[in-house]
Structure 1
Amino acid sequence: MVHPLWEVLKDPRVLRDMVQNPETFRFPNGASLVVAAAAWPPHVLFEPPPDGKAERRSCTSVIKGPMANMINILAETLNFTYMLVQPLDKAWGSRLPNGSWTGMVGMVSRQEADLALGPFGQTESRTQAVDFTPSFFFDHRCLMGSKSVPEIDAWSFLYVLAPTLWAGLVGACLVVWTATMLLSLAPQRDSHRWRSGQTLFRLVQIIMNQDIAWESLGWHERGVLGGWVVVVAVIGWAYGSHLTSLLAVQHTPTPIQSFQDALHQPGLNVIMRPDTILAEAIIGGTSKEVQDLRLLQAVGRLRQWGGSLFDEDLHDQLKEGNSVLVTTSLFADELIALDFKSTGICNFYKSNWFFIASSHCMIGQKGSTLMSAITPSSISVTLLYVLRCYMVQGILHHVNSLG
């Protein structure tokens, strides 16, 4: 019979081996752990067990996803089994005014569970209640919003060339104009101002691919103008090809790329989940992004969404274009994929701007010697690579299961 973890840790030999040899430690006779988890696709996906019962059971029979695979690998490495429990509020956990915690963090801090899958981001308040395993992966936050109606930009002819190339073209034109004026053999009866304007106009005509007649040109002038014609021909060919592509494809505006864009867009709300790293950062953070969030909160345009991010009501609000969602980059990819699978249309986009990167870990009881056995070496490079593959597979599995 496999004994619970708290009973196994009473053996001084097990404790000594765990502390002195964390890199190679395995429970000699096994151990039974209680693991807390809450549904959070693509990391944790719940599925009904074969017999339809959802009480404490082996994690492998009721959940799938990268974190389920992670705990299975650790269980094999350290030689333990485990049972799964869910918090009543099915949340990560938030600190109450009396100092206690709800959710998975609360279960671990009250020693109702030995580990919690999460994955959890590390915050100062959480580190006071629980211990964290080494980080499994990092992810950034981004903004997710609704795409506008596709349109053809009337000013797209200016975007074909980069501003530096436009400036270079103007600069080259002035250089050729100066060289031509210095080498000009025009009759002296023409005023200097007239010759200057006429020469510049003809150089612009070459850019516009127009025919010109130029008399009294010496060989030096012809060499300079010939080089100018070649340069303009190459740029014109590239410009024409690129412009055709731009005009053939409609442009879909994605105007909200940062909190600053949201601040400058009257009536636009920013939606975020409570009890997250970002929610805690608003209280004491000093970064530019957090300051922008405080400004949005001050004007009543920062909204807390306590429900599931898969709710149709939330998606409908985003599609109206009056709100954007703050979430992790990985989760934004999944929401966009799910919506595309159900509608056949790519309604959403995620910002090119990323902010507040955080580590993702499991948590354990504060001061537990078990955490010393989950070392960086037990989470090898191969394991991290496998985890990333599992995350991609988790997204595909969840999208297909809801399709």
Structure 2
Amino acid sequence: MRRSRLAPTVALVVTAAVVVPAVVNVLTGLLTPEWSLRWGLLLGGVLVAGVVVLVYFEHYRARPAGPEVAGPIKRVAISSAGDDTMQLFAVTENGSILERQYRQRRGWGAWTDVSVPGQPGYDVAATAPAHGRVDLLVADRAGGLWVRRRDRQGWREWDTIDGSTRLGPIIAVDIVHTGTSRLELYAVGEGYRLGHRWRRDGFPWSEWYDQTRINSRDVALTYRQGKPQCAVVDLDKRVWFRGDKEWLDLGRPPTGSAPVAISSLRGSSGHQEVFVVSESGEVSHRWKWHDDPWSEWYPMPSPDGVLVDIAAGTTSDGRLEIVGVDDHGGLWQRSFGEKVEWSDWRRVDAAVYGAAGRKLAP
């Protein structure tokens, strides 16, 4: 932890403001008595002014005490309620959970720290069923699950969720609110099995249910007509999708390496879209409308960095956003809108300070 330098600096300068004029006063009194008082007052005034300037810069301009850099970003998640904003959540190298808001017309805000106390995070997911509400899910490094809600009164306390003996420690998670007061949670265990549980507002969580998918690597959720829509990448380089029917094989993305991360979004008018990042950092996507068949896989241009994770969301009707994190912890953003289709990738400045002045990300 860093400590504020304000108190010791002021103490040092105040001491100097007392001692130095006194010494000067004595010396000048021996040589030129008529200048003694004048020199003492002058130097005392200068040093007191120095104290005022240092207090200003230390207290109002310098960053207050806080933790050191939280480390490079490793995983990302987006929640969005379609109200021109989205929340970006990130897991850093040291396990901190950070949050940052993006406004469609104003850009990015500051980072804030929403970490689980004493429990470094491994993966993160979030869903925003309505304006002003976010449900946040974190898998910690011990394989445990934590959930937290923010409403108009602010963040509530963290709650733990019992794990599954069949899944083992959790390595990937996603969460979605289906629009019917029902919260759906999907998780991949260390044995690459996919599990599922849910709860309604005001009720406890259900038991764990096996989703029959083995060799799962990552999972992404949306919803349609009150039901969860689940997409999974597996160890065989394939992507699978399940709505209210059986699992559908979406095949392998058109990249030479295996997909390692997946995200999905729900747009307007029954629009579903899936984004996948491969081991080599290439991005591919495909989509569907209503009950129409899925499109083919389409590759996307890659940013300068090699992406290792991706998150997708919508900020308003027809406006899609994807955010990727590269292998150095850098963030990249790409937007789709009615006037301009997919924009170029642009670097998101991650080296920002939180509202309390703490440097939360490099």
- The alignment's TM-score, normalised by the length of structure 2, stands at 0.24
Larger radius of gyration: 1
Which is richer in helix? 1
Which is richer in strand? 2
- The alignment's TM-score, normalised by the length of structure 1, stands at 0.22
**Highest RCO, 1 vs 2 (Cα 8 Å, sep ≥ 6):** 1
